[in-house]
Amino acid sequence: MARRPVALIPGRLAALLVALLCLGPLVPLLLAGGGGLAPADWAALRFTLWQAALSAALSAALAVPVARALARRAFAGRAALVALLGAPFLLPALAAVLGLLALFGRGGIVSDALAALGLPRLSIYGAGGVVLAHVFLNLPLATRLLLAGWEAIPAERFRLAATLDAPVWRLLERPMLARALPGTVATVFALSLASFAVALTLGGGPAATTVELAIYQALRFEADFAGAATLALVQYAIGGAAAALAWALAPPPPWGAGRGRPVARWDAGGRLARWGDAAALALASAFLLLPLGAAALRGLAGLAELPAGTGRAALNSLLVALGAALACLVLALPLALRGGALARLAGSLPLAASALVLGTGAALLLRPLVAPSALALPLAALVDGLLALPFAVALLGPAAEEAEARHGRLADALRLGGWARLRLLHLPLLRPALGLSLGLAAALSAGSLGVVALLGGDEATLPLLAARLLGAYRTEAAAAVTLLALLLGLALLLLFDLWGRRAAA
Amino acid sequence: MNGRPVRLLPLLLLAAPAMAQERPVLTVLAYDSFVAQWGPGPGIEAGFEAACGCDLRWATGGDGAALLARLQLEGPGEVDAVVGLDDALVARARATGLFAPHGLAPALDLPVAWEDGTFLPFDWGWFAFVGRRGGPMPEGFEDLAASDASVVIQDPRSSTPGLGLLRWVEAAYGDRAGAVWEALADNVVTVTPGWSEAYGLFLEGEADLVLSYSTSPAYHLIAEGDAGYVALPFAEGHLLQVEVAAALAASDAPDLARDFLAYLVSPPAQGLMATGNWMYPAVLPPEGLPEGFESMRPAATLVAPPLSEEAREALVETWRAALSR
């Protein structure tokens, strides 16, 4: 392995900082919490695990036919569909909620159709709505993870199987799924465990409360710091276990998945297979696109009734997103340049944490000094940046390794070290990965609700404003504000990505 | 682009706070529906500002209990007074030490005795379930639990009606309250953080019934000319709620805050309670209550004992446990 003396010290510092930020909040949580769980808290824990397991199982099961169809069919728009599958990961959870309400809510399109037929209207408040929203948000990710599995099967094997007239499913696909499914399920499970915005807006009572939501309620409803701390410890424990499981089982994030070409298959020519694949793709596209389209339409209609304070909230969201991108970069770059086990470990630490756990820890730490609400926006930026760190390290790490592998010796020979090496060797070669990392961190942050909602204060961000409007049943205005949050996130992602790619060109 | 307006803008921005500072600012924290366009807030603001020569600014954020938690979490900040706590929250609010005595002694027309130097009643009402004429009309909690009528309620941790419902069931059933809640669990469509959200859901048709007040139908009748809503008389009797306001001890304008509380129980503000907040005024106006206001006057009033913080926590835990089954 290439030695990189330049990066060792900043890398260690960054790892230390990440460890402090992720594990530090445990200290006040342990000091304040540990008071034992009430029966309803146990119920919240059971519901959290149950809904995450169900969301993961449904997402993965539904993803199998979709990924398979994508893996073996060439059609116009395939590239666009695969790209679209990457979008829900960056989608504000509220956009998903609004979309599903517009389609499946009581006043939604499906309910209107049912009512026209004399059937009862649907209601998606409660456990059903929570699981539906999680499947909506995670089916695309599960599909991309499985698609990566299919693409990892060499095309020659399919050809060989065809010549031998061997069963492709039993010999190739089933073993691949046996390898890829556990990681996929574990990843969606971990993501659904930390669900806050969905449970907040669709949960509807003690029967459908996640631990994250219970933390929020303990603090916002009762100013109960001890109760919130105890719940945050529970969330940390299950989040950590799930993240470790996903880390052990899952392949790295499949950013490159779907870029490969579909494999022409001799076993899939039958009419049944063709119709089946077409149905899987059509249903999945409809399930993903119709709610988003409906929410976007509502959002456009609601632009006329944007509330006062939208401009201020947009500015706050922009500042938080840029702050998150910066925080993420400052931590991720030294880790990526250092490389090795320490960087991988530090880079994955935030996977165990959640916005509300870190927010509660920060609130407990700051409370003796200052009202935590006064620092809600900077804390949100820091926490969002930290939560985006694993993705940034996954993007930057390989790029840094490649840069060293290709030009490290030349740089050594030229005695390039320290800043000169960073400026002349790393930054130019890492710029595409840097751009995408900054963009991802900013876009994730622009759609996130957790810390600002928890700590409150006078300053709102776009997602918080949208959540408040949704609470007041101003659905169109909420959709409009969510649309703005989505556009802000997309604009930041595209701008940073463009900046990164311009160097490469 | 013409540069002049752009160059003027920073000057205007600098001048704006200075202009505002000429009048002292009073910030009052209140629940959403109090401040809403159709609520009593705008009328009170106009009336009080004319009298005080000050700038009354509202701050909102959920129902009464959430307002109290917000003051605890974020500190009083700019807030000088709070409107919308209730009798059930008084012990909890007093324990925070955030509130100062008001020093007022208005003659109140409350159906219960009230002696408190810090928390000043401004209106009162009976909790009741509200439904649509022709819809399900259960006659009590057990009747409701046995029916398949759907109901929206508020979270007792954030909302004063939500907590009131817990006290209501407790006052009516005592030790059996937990069992009654378990029976009611499948009627509860959803639990909202505040009254506004619950009533909004009910009006959108998400449920047959909503927890509100015996006087809520008056809003539809008087303000909208719609006689289609009814408050359901319950055989167990109805719990009475007294809503209170208080001044913050940390206020930098304590005199103004006290003047505001005094105005709140004066005839002009009290005149806005019946047809603005749709609650019984704490001081009955000379003209009495409007026609149609008492479409359902409960035959029996349940009185709950003062609620200690331990008792409140026990009520909430029983409710959470019953509804999370």
Does A98 fall in a domain?
no
From A128's Cα to the closest Cα of chain B, the distance in A is 12
Judgement on whether residues A386 and A279 belong to the same structural domain of the protein = no
Q: Is the dihedral of CA B146, B151, B155, B158 positive or negative?
A: negative
Torsion angles phi and psi, residue A411, rounded to 5: -65, -40
Q: Does B158 touch chain A (CB under 8 A)?
A: yes
Q: How far is CA A241 from CA A195, A355, B71, B151, in A?
A: 16, 17, 36, 38
Both tokens of residue A172?
Answer: 């190739």
What is d(CA A69, CA A63) in angstroms, rounded to the nearest whole number?
10
Both tokens of residue A315?
Answer: 């500015």
Average pLDDT taken over every residue of chain B: 90
Query: Does B13 have pLDDT greater than 50?
Result: no
Q: Which residues pair with B129 in a beta bridge?
A: B211, B232
Q: Which residues pair with B60 in a beta bridge?
A: B30
Q: Give Cβ neighbours of residue A372 (< 8 Å, ≥ 6 apart).
A: A362, A363, A366, A379, A455, B73, B74
Does A106 fall in a domain?
no
- Beta-carbon separation of B190 and A456 below 8 A: no
Judgement on whether residues A351 and A465 belong to the same structural domain of the protein = yes
Q: Which pLDDT band, with edges at 50, 70 and 90, does B8 fall under?
A: very low
CATH of the domain at A405: 1.10.3720.10
Selection from B190, B258, B283 nearest residue A471 by Cα: B190
Q: Identify the pLDDT of residue B24.
A: 92
Cα radius of gyration (chain B) = 21
| Residue A106 CA to its chain's centroid (Å) | 28
Q: Which pLDDT band, with edges at 50, 70 and 90, does A478 fall under?
A: very high
Q: Give Cβ neighbours of residue A414 (< 8 Å, ≥ 6 apart).
A: none
Q: How many structural domains does chain A have?
A: 2
Query: What single-letter DSSP state applies at residue B276?
Result: I
Judgement on whether residues A356 and A211 belong to the same structural domain of the protein = no
Selection from B317, B311, B293, B324 nearest residue B126 by Cα: B293
Q: Which pLDDT band, with edges at 50, 70 and 90, does A255 fall under?
A: very low
Q: How far is CA A504 from CA A325, A500, B233, B315, in A?
A: 21, 7, 74, 64
Among residues A260, A283, A303, which one ends one of the domains?
A303
CB B187 within 8 A of CB B99: no
| Residue A119 CA to its chain's centroid (Å) | 36
CB A45 within 8 A of CB B323: no
What is d(CA B85, CA B66) in angstroms, rounded to the nearest whole number?
9
Query: Does B6 have pLDDT greater than 50?
Result: no
Judgement on whether residues A235 and A322 belong to the same structural domain of the protein = no
Query: Does A104 have pLDDT greater than 70?
Result: yes
What is d(CA B188, CA B151) in angstroms, rounded to the nearest whole number?
5
Which amino acid would we find at residue B300?
A
Who has greater pLDDT, B32 or A64? A64
Give the DSSP H/E element, type plus range, for residue B153: strand B151-154
Selection from A82, A72, A93 nearest residue A145 by Cα: A82
Average pLDDT estimate for A89-102: 88
Q: Which pLDDT band, with edges at 50, 70 and 90, does B34 fall under?
A: very high
Search chain A and give the residue with CA nearest B76. Answer: A371
**Tokens 């596209």 belong to which residue?**
A285
Between chain A and chain B, how many beta carbons pairs sit less than 8 Å apart? Answer: 104
Q: How far is CA A368 from CA A42, A107, A225, A226, A358, in A?
A: 30, 46, 13, 15, 17
Judgement on whether residues A53 and A5 belong to the same structural domain of the protein = no
Query: Does A451 have pLDDT greater than 70?
Result: yes
Q: Does B205 touch chain A (CB under 8 A)?
A: yes
What is d(CA A167, CA A190) in angstroms, rounded to the nearest whole number?
34
Q: What is the four-CA torsion angle of A375, A377, A378, A379, rounded to 10 degrees?
A: 80
Give the DSSP H/E element, type plus range, for residue B210: strand B209-213
Q: Which pLDDT band, with edges at 50, 70 and 90, does A490 fall under?
A: very high
Does A79 fall in a domain?
yes
Q: Identify the pLDDT of residue B1.
A: 38
Most confident region among A121-130, A285-294, B244-253 by mean pLDDT: B244-253
What is d(CA A48, CA A40) in angstroms, rounded to the nearest whole number?
12
Greatest alpha-carbon pair distance for chain A in Å reads: 80
Query: Which of B190, B310, B315, B319 best probes binding to A when mutated, by most A CB atoms within 10 angstroms?
Result: B190
**pLDDT tens column, B201-256:** 899 888 999 999 999 999 999 989 999 999 999 999 999 999 999 999 999 999 99
Query: Does A8 have pLDDT greater than 70?
Result: no
From A486's Cα to the closest Cα of chain B, the distance in A is 25
Which amino acid would we find at residue A503?
A
Chain A neighbors of B68, CB-CB under 8 A: 223
Q: Identify the pLDDT of residue B5.
A: 41
Torsion angles phi and psi, residue B106, rounded to 5: -75, 150
Both tokens of residue A364?
Answer: 């407990």
Q: Identify the pLDDT of residue A259.
A: 56
Query: Does B2 have pLDDT greater than 80?
Result: no
Supply the range of the domain harboring residue A313.
Answer: 1-28+306-505
Does A191 fall in a domain?
yes
- Beta-carbon separation of B70 and A219 below 8 A: no
Q: Identify the pLDDT of residue A7.
A: 54
Q: Does B61 touch chain A (CB under 8 A)?
A: yes
Judgement on whether residues A70 and A197 belong to the same structural domain of the protein = yes
Which amino acid would we find at residue A163?
T
Judgement on whether residues A254 and A369 belong to the same structural domain of the protein = no
Q: Which pLDDT band, with edges at 50, 70 and 90, does B3 fall under?
A: very low
CB A298 within 8 A of CB A475: yes
- Name the percent of chain A lying above pLDDT 90: 47
**pLDDT tens column, A331-359:** 999 998 888 888 888 888 898 889 999 99
Average pLDDT estimate for B77-99: 95
Judgement on whether residues A1 and A53 belong to the same structural domain of the protein = no
Q: Identify the pLDDT of residue A164.
A: 84
CB A342 within 8 A of CB A435: no
Does A82 fall in a domain?
yes
Judgement on whether residues A455 and A387 belong to the same structural domain of the protein = yes
Q: Which of A106, A455, A471 sits opposite B206 (nearest CB)?
A: A106
Judgement on whether residues A13 and A51 belong to the same structural domain of the protein = no
Chain B neighbors of A363, CB-CB under 8 A: 73
Q: Which pLDDT band, with edges at 50, 70 and 90, does B21 fall under?
A: low
From B104's Cα to the closest Cα of chain A, the distance in A is 29
Among residues A238, A273, A303, which one ends one of the domains?
A303
Does A238 fall in a domain?
yes
Q: Give Cβ neighbours of residue B75 (< 8 Å, ≥ 6 apart).
A: A371, A373, B250
Query: Does A21 have pLDDT greater than 50?
Result: yes
Search chain A and give the residue with CA nearest B205. Answer: A106
What is d(CA A105, CA A116) in angstroms, rounded to the nearest whole number?
15
What is d(CA B203, CA A210) in angstroms, rounded to the nearest whole number?
27
Give the DSSP H/E element, type plus range, for residue A109: helix A109-116
Does A425 fall in a domain?
yes
Q: How far is CA A390 from CA A18, A183, A331, B106, in A?
A: 11, 16, 10, 62
Query: Does A258 have pLDDT greater than 70?
Result: no
Query: Which of A209, A216, A220 best probes binding to B when mutated, by most B CB atoms within 10 angstroms?
Result: A220
Query: Does B10 have pLDDT greater than 50?
Result: no
**pLDDT tens column, A315-334:** 999 999 999 999 999 999 99
Q: Which of B158, B191, B204 sits opposite A106 (nearest CB)?
A: B204
ipTM: 0.86
Q: Identify the pLDDT of residue B176.
A: 94
Average pLDDT taken over every residue of chain A: 87
Q: Does B60 touch chain A (CB under 8 A)?
A: no
- Residues on A contacting B at a C-beta cutoff of 8 Å: 38-40, 43-44, 47, 106-107, 121, 123, 125-126, 204-207, 209, 217, 219-223, 363, 371-374, 455-458, 471-473
Among residues A286, A303, A320, which one ends one of the domains?
A303
- Beta-carbon separation of A206 and B69 below 8 A: no
Q: Which of A106-110, B216-220, B267-271 has the lowest average pLDDT?
A: A106-110
| Count of CB atoms situated within 10 Å of the CB of A104 | 23
The number of C-alpha atoms within 13 Å of A272 and in the hemisphere containing its C-beta is 1
The number of C-alpha atoms within 13 Å of A385 and in the hemisphere containing its C-beta is 25
Query: Does A261 have pLDDT greater than 80?
Result: no
Q: Which residues pair with B229 in a beta bridge?
A: B132
Q: Which of A39-48, A123-132, A160-169 has the lowest average pLDDT?
A: A160-169
Q: Identify the pLDDT of residue A90.
A: 83
Q: What is the four-CA torsion angle of A59, A194, A130, A372, rounded to 10 degrees?
A: -150
Does A105 fall in a domain?
no
User: B195-203 vs B160-173: helix axis angle to the nearest 10?
Assistant: 90
Q: Which pLDDT band, with edges at 50, 70 and 90, does A186 fall under?
A: very high
Search chain A and give the residue with CA nearest B309. Answer: A222
From B32's Cα to the closest Cα of chain A, the distance in A is 9
- Beta-carbon separation of B190 and A204 below 8 A: yes
What is d(CA B15, CA A351) in angstroms, rounded to the nearest whole number?
48
Query: What single-letter DSSP state applies at residue B154?
Result: E
Q: Which of A220, A457, A473 sits opposite B66 (nearest CB)?
A: A220
Chain A neighbors of B200, CB-CB under 8 A: 472-473
User: B254-264 vs B41-52: helix axis angle to the nearest 10?
Assistant: 130
What is d(CA B316, CA A8) in angstroms, rounded to the nearest whole number?
53
Average pLDDT estimate for A302-309: 89
List, in order of start, the domains of chain B with CATH numbers: 21-124+241-281 (3.40.190.10), 125-240+295-324 (3.40.190.10)
Average pLDDT estimate for B8-32: 66
- In this prediction the pTM is 0.89
Judgement on whether residues A431 and A353 belong to the same structural domain of the protein = yes
Torsion angles phi and psi, residue B117, rounded to 5: -85, -5
Judgement on whether residues A253 and A330 belong to the same structural domain of the protein = no
Q: Give Cβ neighbours of residue A494 (< 8 Å, ≥ 6 apart).
A: A439
